Structure 1
């Protein structure tokens, strides 16, 4: 069996109806995985432990976490905006890990892959809340990844931008001529990365072939023009 096959792997996908969730579930199943999609409100502090318990044994946790990106000016960011963004994209991470960790330790291996954003890697106007939350994900993965590596538990993150998905690039935005011009101006590829292209890379990182990567942040985007 190919090392990139996911046959026999049980993969829990959070927020399966949002962001990259639908295409991830589709591609992972095509690669042979038993996909366990979850659609519950991940910001509820009780949800992570409950959905992991309901899922049973987990080989891979795919933390697909997203909110519509706030665009407030820095002086206008409300306490609620900050709190709600972190409650969905940052606070669930340690809760999810603590829920899956005992089972992964018992079986002697495991994978955690976070679907993040490259907004944490580049300054963006009117994105302080969103970028801060995505940056917290990145730092958490780097720290946890090196801590758990000796236990054969790999934790990594995909930092994506300009990737086709319904949360950040719905059809109406993609059809907007101004957005199309922006792609030509800012993205060397001149297009969005395909949803399946991104999901196939995620599937690889969930496979045994990717066991050498720990605490890594993988940018996946059409490339930025430095400005």
Structure 2
């Protein structure tokens, strides 16, 4: 692989100022990509289409959507919590894809990568609303992938947890003894995956070397102890 495997690629990243956004933009730029770092909330239903149109040609869409995860017990989770979470994490995804896919299909080339969460892959207490939204992201990506693969477009997702980032694992949480014990108990790696490690893997999935993957969900978790 060349030193700049993403040279000539135009990559649109959502919520680029939070979650994995800043580090991801840095790593992709270092690998040669032209990064369109968008920071809009995407809550307005017409916003995704307008932003994609303004961006012009897009080779890769990275749908990285994030909000602090609600931690209500399932029996206490309100309709408002559910609607708020899905409005931020799920509703923008099909709007973004509908906006960007026509140009990718016309070129018979393109990639869409959903930066999701491993909370969708196993049960987590006090995370029913959040896990449901993250699960919807992965299900949508897998189904969409089967529809557009024949058009030269690869859609994949990563499902991450125990990855260092300020949205879900801020420093004040990481420094808590209880969290450090949790890492030892639940993560064989014994530490968080770094933002650079995660972003470098995402960069690989954006490269032509990963054109063979379609509809895959890649866990990035530092390993899990089965419970």
TM-score (norm 1): 0.98
Alpha-carbon contact 1:69-1:168 (below 8 Å) kept: yes
Alpha-carbon contact 1:90-1:136 (below 8 Å) kept: yes
Shift of 1:137: 0.6
Aligned equivalent of 1:132: 132
Aligned equivalent of 1:28: 28
SS for the counterpart of 1:184 is helix
Partner Cα distance (2:226, 2:2) in 1: 39
Deviation per CA, 1:66-123, whole angstroms, max 9, x where unpaired? Answer: 1100000111111111001111111111100111011111222000000000000010
Shift of 1:2: 3.3
1:190 aligns with 2:190: yes
1:42 aligns with 2:42: yes
Shift of 1:158: 0.5
Alpha-carbon contact 1:3-1:208 (below 8 Å) kept: no
Q: Which aligned runs of 4 or more in structure 1 are off by greater than 3 angstroms?
A: 1-4
TM-score (norm 2): 0.98
Deviation per CA, 1:165-200, whole angstroms, max 9, x where unpaired? Answer: 110001111111111111011110110001000000
Partner Cα distance (1:44, 1:27) in 2: 29
Return 97-106 or 123-132, whichever deviates more.
97-106
Aligned equivalent of 1:76: 76
Aligned equivalent of 1:149: 149
Aligned equivalent of 1:123: 123
Alpha-carbon contact 1:68-1:168 (below 8 Å) kept: yes
Tell me how large the CA RMSD over aligned residues is. 1.2
Aligned equivalent of 1:100: 100
Partner Cα distance (1:3, 1:149) in 2: 28
Partner Cα distance (1:195, 1:206) in 2: 16
Deviation per CA, 1:42-83, whole angstroms, max 9, x where unpaired? Answer: 122121111101111100000000110000011111111100
Shift of 1:149: 0.6
Partner Cα distance (1:4, 1:162) in 2: 28
Partner Cα distance (1:3, 1:63) in 2: 25
Structure 1 unmatched runs, 5+: none
